[in-house]
Each structure stands twice: as structure tokens, then as C-alpha cells.
Structure 1
């Protein structure tokens, strides 16, 4: 019988984008009239480099002519759809875009994450005290895996990584770049691969940026 070494979860990385059309979105859990979410979990990881189109049928009609483009933006990490205006109680919402399938690459022994804020001074001549504001945000971290991690990690391209503790648990998803990958042989005859990563943000339709988050798959 094979022995599974101690680990806290599994690591998956995203593959090539796959286009999809007219995926159903339903009111999200914290629904106030404008928040929806793509129903199919496999379509909730979207490629931020490809556009996502949101359409609404205000009267709930499924005929082709009933759908109209909607002003909205889509969270590419977890598939939430944020409409600018409430479409009404009978409305149907659908999304077309490109999803990112993931495949497991390693068991994760540990993961650490650090989020930082750049703070700038705002004082002008005559101020008696310093005033400061947060400008740019960043994150970095490292994870230790128990399987070969070389594939896809060192080519310099941004990677979507996903760390999961198992079925039913929240997942950590992040866009990262990998400046360093190291190997170590432990006393238990396990090869540990340590991946050091830094955040890579993509702009969203709201004018903000998205890089990482925790959530329900």
C-alpha cells in the first residue's frame, strides 16, 4: 500500500484558455440585485487576457432576440458577475468568455503569503504632521510541494495557481510569477520543491486590479 506524505492541500495550475458561450449566471449568495455568479464551477476561472461578455434577458425570455448586452464586469478568479444596474426580478443573465481549466501538479506541504502596501507621504509646506496614504499593493510568498514542479513554473509567463484543501473547502487562487524554484531532499527521503512567487495583477472592468483571493470554487 502506498503512503501519502503529510500535506495541507494540493496545488493545481491553469492550462490554456477554452472559450465558452452563454454560461448561465444566477443570483449570488449575498444578492442585492446586481450580483450574480456563473453556475458551472469549471467556468468560474476566467482568462483575464480575453474579454467576457455579459447579456441579460430582462423579462426572463430565453428566445435569442430577448438578450441584450449588459454593462458589467466579471471577477476572473471566482466567476462573480457585477452588473451596473439591477436587471429586475425576472431577469436571466448569461456570460461568454474563456475559462481556464486546471490540473493538479503537486501535494502542498506548506504555503505562506505576505501582502504589502506602499505608503507615500502627502504633507505639503506648512503641515505640522505627516500625512500618509496607501498607494500600490503587492503580495508574495512561497509554497513547498512534494512532486516535481518544474513544468510551467520557470518560463516567465504569469501563472494561475490554485491551492485546495479538499472537496467542499475554500481555495486560494492567485496570478503569480516565479523568480525562484529550489529542490531539497529531506531525511524522510522526500524531495521537496520550494516555489517562491510574486504577485501579478490584471486590470478589471471596474478600474481596479485582481491578483489573488480566497473563495468557494
Structure 2
């Protein structure tokens, strides 16, 4: 049996990650090769992206009718938890002055446990702050679509947040199932598309499409 695997697109969709690194660390040969490959892919796709857009509502219709996704029940506990996480993320992006103090996270301490504990405390403070702000004052338009495979472990999901024009998602299960999800994500981004102005200005929407194509 193949091991479960996961992939997340977009920081707002997945859990917070902590990466510790050494600035003096040199890139390995394999890392340099991968960077070169990604640069070649980026140039290849940049020349082939053409104007053409669809709305997020049309994207959601595509997910349902072509790919067999089902929208998650908005009253479910898991949905509400993910909604709150994403609402907190976007709230702090839109109003960064509300973010909890993070100066202590830049400590040079080698105590990873302490750093993680401080980060969890910061996230908890920000979550409580977000929950204290009524949805009438600030809210997001959050939708989650899921599709399951033949195996019990096969499950993919795609997140649509209309207010900030966000598309993200993840998958777990067999390698074949995850490859299918990656293909669906690429097709979803291509269908969502970009305008001539997006291409000209290299907008965030354009950058996200290009990133998805080279993964």
C-alpha cells in the first residue's frame, strides 16, 4: 500500500510551517538543478499564457460538473474550523496592525520547543482577536469542495475564497490520485485564466497561474 501524501497550495490554506535554516548553507547539486529546471519551465509557460478569464463562480461550476466535486456542508465542524483559520489569515493581511507582536519569534535561541510554543501563543492570540470582530464588520466568502476516490485514503479538496480571489487545495492518498489532483489544479487555474492586463503587469493572478503551471 502506498503511503499517504499531502500537498497544499497557498499559505492561507495550509497549516503554519516553521523552517529553520543556516544562511551559510550552500545549495546542493540537486537543488541547483531543480532551480534551473523551474526557471526553464517558467520561461516556457510565460511565453504560452494567453488572455482569457472566467469568474470564480464559473470555476466552482466547472469543479462540480466536470470533475465531480461536492461542496462541503457549511454547518460542519471541520468547515467552520477551516473558515475561521482562513478568515483570521485574511483579516491580518488586510489589517496587519492587528497582528500580535512577533518580535520575540526572531530570537536566536536554539530552543525549538520554546519558539514553537511562542508561535502557537501568537496564533492563538490572533485567532481570539479575529473571533472578537463580528462577521458584519469583516467576513470572507469561503467555499470548500471535496472529491473522494476509490480508496478510503483518497481525498482531494479545492478551496475558493471569492472576496480575495483565492484558489487553493490539497490531496491525500495514492500517488495516482494525487497526480490527478495536480492535473485538475492546473486545469482549474488555466480555466480561471488571466487578462491582458494581468499579463502586462504580471499581477498576482498571473504569478499564481505561472507558479501552478511549473509545479
Give the TM bin, normalised by the shorter chain: under 0.3
Q: Provide the TM-score with structure 1 as the length reference.
A: 0.25
In terms of fraction of residues, the more helix-rich structure is: 2
Q: Provide the TM-score with structure 2 as the length reference.
A: 0.25
> Larger relative contact order (C-alpha < 8 A, sep ≥ 6)?
2
